[in-house]
Every structure is written in structure tokens, then in C-alpha cells.
């Protein structure tokens, strides 16, 4: 934790130092931008066990984005997202500076959203069609939300386009962090493990620990019609605390994990099909653990209304469940977004139905 906070402070200090020392070039007019949003949310779930309430209303998140471009080739970015019960360090989603030598080569340093999954970059409520992110993104089992890292990225081509990003740095483990008005989102795997009496689970002390990793992705696209991506994430071998329920003890075991995935996006007029599939070669104390996740989502924009359906499959060791979502986003104005969706969790022990209603105000 101390190492992570120190690196973040260095990034912020470096950013402020460069921002005050860089002068505008030529006739470039410095660009400043400040935007934000407030999102409130209603959740209802039936049959939940061990929760104080089956329903709730809460301020789910409030985000603020500030960017400053003193030169055409330099961009500073800071994003702060408030979430109930999150520590301040977890609310600083992005704090980075990017220097563009050309479209083909850009260098970014600081904290930024992990670019492996296109859906992960739709973390912010106003830009996501659904009120909920896919489980493989929200549970952070395959990759963290963000990293304090160095990135080299770029793209080339016009109609046919190739893009890439390579990065290395540190991050916090945030597996199964709960969100939502009830606190069920992000807790699904831990919840089902409790329902089946799983003998092993990751201890809560794992969240907040620090690790290092390298990763990258390549993507190919044709105009806006087809986009195909391949990504890999390789963390450093670390010690993982495993809770053994039979003996009520925590064992610290060596963990190795290599994660890789594929993503696809097809767009035709106002119809969009997106999907991802991820797999982790996870080894804990010499034993291999199943860790797989996938989703496919189909949406259709009709004026200011965008209905959608999504199917997900999540496998974590001794837990496998499917989640079905059907919903719609209604955006009457730029400032106002209304979302409503029905969710169904399918599991051999217990099925769960849920309703999410979200109201977002942007500025």
C-alpha cells in the first residue's frame, strides 16, 4: 500500500510540474475540459440470503473528469469517481499524462484504466449502455480496473486499422469489491461459494494488496463495422491468502496467473453486437484452478432509446453461473440518462432475479 501511494504521489507531482513548465506551441490554443456525472440507483433482488435488505436506493457513483492539453502532442487527464465505502485511493481512477510523437507512437505514464477489455473502458456510467457491467469486468478476476504504469500505444491505417498497447506497472488487487445499492454486484462469486459451502475461497485481506504486471493488446478494425482484439495480462507471482472454512484458517499460498482474452464488436447501422471471452491459467500452490468468463451483448438504437440483451457465463473454481440481462437505456437529452434492466442469475443451487433502475445526470 505504501509503495502504491508513493508512486501515485510521484505521478501527480510529475504531472503538475510538467503542466506548469510546458508552453503552448505555435498557434495551438490550450484545451481545457471539465465534465462529470451523478448516478443514483435502485436495486431489487429476490431470495438473497445474508443481506440486510433485498432492495435499496443509493447514490451509486459520482464522477469528475478534468483534462488539459497545453500542446497538440501533450494531454493530462484526471478522473475521480466517488463510490460509497471506497477508499480515496480507489476513487482516483485515472491520473496520467500522454505524449504523442505521432499517431503510431504515444507514451503514457500514470494511472489509467486497464486497456485489455473494451468494456473496462466503459466503466463510467454515462458511456455504458447497461446499468451493470459484465461480471468478468466488475469482479476484476482477470485484470484490475486500473494500473499505475507506463504505456506505449499507437495505431496506423485508415479504413483498415491496426492499433496496439503495451504496458507495465503496479496495481491493487480488488477482487470481488461490492457495489450497488444492495451490495450484491461484485459479490456474486463469494455469495455462491457460501451457498454451496465451498471449502476454499480468497480471503478478504487479498483486496488492497499490491502487485506488478505486464500486458498488452492488439486490435484490428475495418471502419466502424468490425473490431477484433486480442489481449494478455501477466502478473508477477504473488502470495494469495486462501480461507479454509473447514479449519477456519487462512493459508498464504503461492499464486501464478496468466490471463488472455478475445473481444469482438460488430456494428451495422444502429445495431451492435459485442462480446468477450477470457481465460486464466491460474495456479495456486501447484494446483490449477478453473477461471473463465464470457459475455455477448446485442443492442439496437431506436432514436433516443437503446434496448439490449446480454448473456454471460462465469466459472471460478467450484462455482459456475450464468447471468441473463434484458434492459433499455433512454437518453432524452445529453444531460439525462435513464436505464432499467432485469437480471436473472442461473445456478444449480439458487436462481436469483433482480431489477436495476438507474438515473444519471451529466454536466
Show pLDDT as tens, one digit a residue, over the chain (363 residues): 554 555 555 555 555 555 544 544 557 899 999 999 999 999 999 989 999 899 999 999 999 999 999 999 999 999 999 998 888 999 999 999 999 999 999 999 999 999 999 999 888 999 999 999 999 999 999 999 999 999 999 999 999 999 999 999 999 998 878 899 999 999 999 999 999 999 988 898 998 899 999 999 999 999 999 999 999 999 999 999 999 988 899 999 999 999 999 999 999 999 999 999 999 999 999 899 989 999 999 999 999 999 999 999 999 989 999 999 999 999 999 999 999 999 999 999 999 999 999 999 999
Could you tell me if 151 and 281 are in contact, meaning their C-beta atoms sit under 8 angstroms apart? no
Fold type of domain 2-362: Porin (2.40.160)
DSSP letter (8 states) at residue 183: S
pLDDT at 8: 55
- The beta-strand segments (E) located in the chain are 31-45, 55-71, 74-82, 92-102, 105-113, 146-157, 160-172, 200-202, 210-222, 226-235, 238-244, 249-268, 271-284, 287-289, 291-300, 305-316, 319-330, 336-346, 352-362
Distance separating alpha carbons of residues 228 and 210, to the nearest angstrom: 31
pLDDT at 14: 53
pLDDT at 182: 93
User: Which residues touch 101 (CB under 8 Å, ≥6 apart)?
Assistant: 73, 107
- Total Cβ atoms within 10 A of residue 293: 23
Could you tell me if 199 and 244 are in contact, meaning their C-beta atoms sit under 8 angstroms apart? yes
pLDDT at 177: 82
pLDDT at 92: 96
Q: Is the dihedral of CA 339, 340, 344, 345 positive or negative?
A: positive
pLDDT at 21: 46
Count CA atoms closer than 13 A to 37's CA, side-chain side: 21
In the chain, where are the structural domains located? 2-362
Segments in 101-241 forming alpha helices (H): 135-138, 188-196
Distance separating alpha carbons of residues 314 and 135, to the nearest angstrom: 7
What cell does 56 get? 435499496
What cell does 26 get? 505555435
Segments in 2-141 forming alpha helices (H): 2-21, 88-91, 135-138
Distance separating alpha carbons of residues 281 and 187, to the nearest angstrom: 22
pLDDT at 214: 98
| CB-count exposure of residue 6 (10 Å: 0-12, 13-18, 19+) | exposed
Nearest residue to 57 via CA among 176, 183, 161 = 183
Per-position DSSP letters for 245-268, written without gaps between them: TTTTEEEEEEEEEEEEEEEEEEEE
Distance separating alpha carbons of residues 280 and 292, to the nearest angstrom: 7
Amino acid at each position: 500500500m505504501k509503495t502504491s501511494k508513493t508512486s501515485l504521489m510521484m505521478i501527480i507531482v510529475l504531472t503538475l510540474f510538467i503542466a506548469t513548465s510546458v508552453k503552448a506551441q505555435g498557434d495551438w490554443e490550450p484545451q481545457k475540459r471539465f465534465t462529470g456525472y451523478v448516478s443514483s440507483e435502485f436495486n431489487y433482488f429476490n431470495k438473497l440470503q445474508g443481506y440486510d435488505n433485498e432492495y435499496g436506493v443509493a447514490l451509486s457513483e459520482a464522477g469528475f473528469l478534468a483534462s488539459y492539453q497545453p500542446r497538440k502532442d501533450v494531454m493530462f487527464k484526471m478522473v475521480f469517481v466517488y463510490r460509497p465505502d471506497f477508499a480515496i485511493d480507489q476513487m482516483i481512477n485515472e491520473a496520467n499524462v500522454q505524449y504523442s510523437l505521432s499517431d503510431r507512437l504515444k507514451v503514457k505514464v500514470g494511472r489509467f484504466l486497464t486497456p485489455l477489455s473494451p468494456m473496462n473502458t466503459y466503466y463510467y456510467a454515462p458511456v455504458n449502455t447497461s446499468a451493470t457491467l459484465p461480471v468478468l469486468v466488475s469482479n476484476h478476476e482477470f485484470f484490475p480496473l486500473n494500473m499505475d504504469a507506463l504505456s506505449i500505444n499507437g495505431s496506423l491505417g485508415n479504413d483498415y486499422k491496426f492499433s496496439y498497447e503495451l504496458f507495465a506497472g503496479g496495481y491493487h488487487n480488488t477482487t470481488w469489491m461490492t457495489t450497488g445499492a444492495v451490495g450484491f454486484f461484485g459479490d456474486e462469486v463469494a455469495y455462491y461459494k457460501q451457498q454451496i459451502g465451498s471449502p476454499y475461497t480468497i480471503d478478504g485481506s487479498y483486496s488492497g494488496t499490491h502487485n506488478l504486471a505486464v500486458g498488452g493488446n492488439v486490435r484490428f478494425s475495418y471502419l466502424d463495422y468490425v473490431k477484433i482484439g486480442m489481449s494478455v495480462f501477466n502478473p508477477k507471482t504473488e502470495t494469495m491468502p486462501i480461507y479454509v472454512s473447514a479449519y477456519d484458517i487462512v493459508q498464504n499460498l503461492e499464486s501464478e496467473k496468466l490471463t488472455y482474452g478475445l473481444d469482438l464488436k460488430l456494428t451495422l447501422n444502429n445495431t451492435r453486437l459485442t462480446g468477450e471471452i477470457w481465460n486464466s491459467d491460474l495456479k495456486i500452490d501447484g494446483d490449477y484452478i478453473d477461471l473463465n468468463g464470457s459475455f455477448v451483448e446485442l443492442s439496437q438504437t431506436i432514436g433516443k432509446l437503446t434496448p439490449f440483451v446480454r448473456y454471460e457465463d462465469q466459472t471460478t473454481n467450484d462455482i459456475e453461473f450464468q447471468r441473463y440481462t434484458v434492459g433499455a437505456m433512454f437518453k432524452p437529452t445529453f444531460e439525462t440518462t435513464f436505464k432499467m434492466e432485469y437480471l436473472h442469475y442461473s445456478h444449480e443451487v439458487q436462481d436469483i432475479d433482480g431489477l436495476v433502475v438507474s438515473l444519471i445526470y451529466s454536466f
